Amino acid sequence: MKAKDFNDIFDGVIETYHIVDSVDQSFSNPHDSKTLTHLLYRKCWIDTVQWHYEDIIRLPDINPEEALTLKRKIDASNQDRTDMVEYVDGYFLTQYKDVATKDTAKINSESPAWAIDRLSILALKIYHMREEATRTSASDAHKEACQKKLDILLEQRVDLSTAIDDLIVDIQNGDKYMKVYKQMKMYNDDDLNPMLYAKK
């Protein structure tokens, strides 16, 4: 798979989400659970729901209790997102475990999955900026400004897609190697967050 395939998956997820356009809608993954496509579909769905959580929690008149409940959902979503990135990296590690790395091989600043994570978020930015650039209720000035931003986002997607494709080819050829570090988030862990373990 190439970055174009990743972008197609992400665009499809976002379009599917907006058919119902509700954070409470049910989720169904149409892809085989053993495939990379399955992981990427799930990953982008988590990102899409969280995007809308972030919109909702910024409502100025939101009920404080509702906001707290939503904050907990955002925290859980962030953990799910991190877990999914690590699953995707696990896929790549398995895929290229038998590649003989060259003596001159170098490590990249980020793993393939974290780069693909940025591609998923970029797909969301593109979708929603395009909405703003074409929103009939918006002023011409607003739409023009959003179109300029959209053009930049689309250019960014080309550049990031190229970089991801190059990285994967370099790993396949042994010119770069993968080394994945778990995120080790502390604030969700009862044994690592002092505010939580002090309550035990």
What does the pLDDT look like over 134-168, one tens digit per residue? 999 999 999 999 999 999 999 999 999 999 999 99
Query: For 24, which DSSP code?
Result: T
pLDDT digits (tens, 9 = 90+) for 43-82: 999 999 999 999 999 999 999 999 999 999 999 999 999 9
CB 49 within 8 A of CB 17: yes
Distance CA 84, CA 159 (A): 24
CB 36 within 8 A of CB 5: no
Position 199 scores a pLDDT of 72
CB 112 within 8 A of CB 167: yes
Query: For 11, which DSSP code?
Result: H
Q: And the tokens for 93?
A: 């590690």
Least confident of 7-11, 140-144, 149-153, 195-199: 195-199
Q: And the tokens for 37?
A: 């496509």
pLDDT confidence band for 195 (50 / 70 / 90) = low
With 0.85 as the threshold, say if the pTM is over it: yes
Planar angle of CA 90, 91, 94, nearest 5 degrees: 85
CB 71 within 8 A of CB 172: no
CB 14 within 8 A of CB 123: yes
CB 84 within 8 A of CB 46: yes
Position 141 scores a pLDDT of 98
CB 14 within 8 A of CB 124: yes
Distance CA 72, CA 74 (A): 5
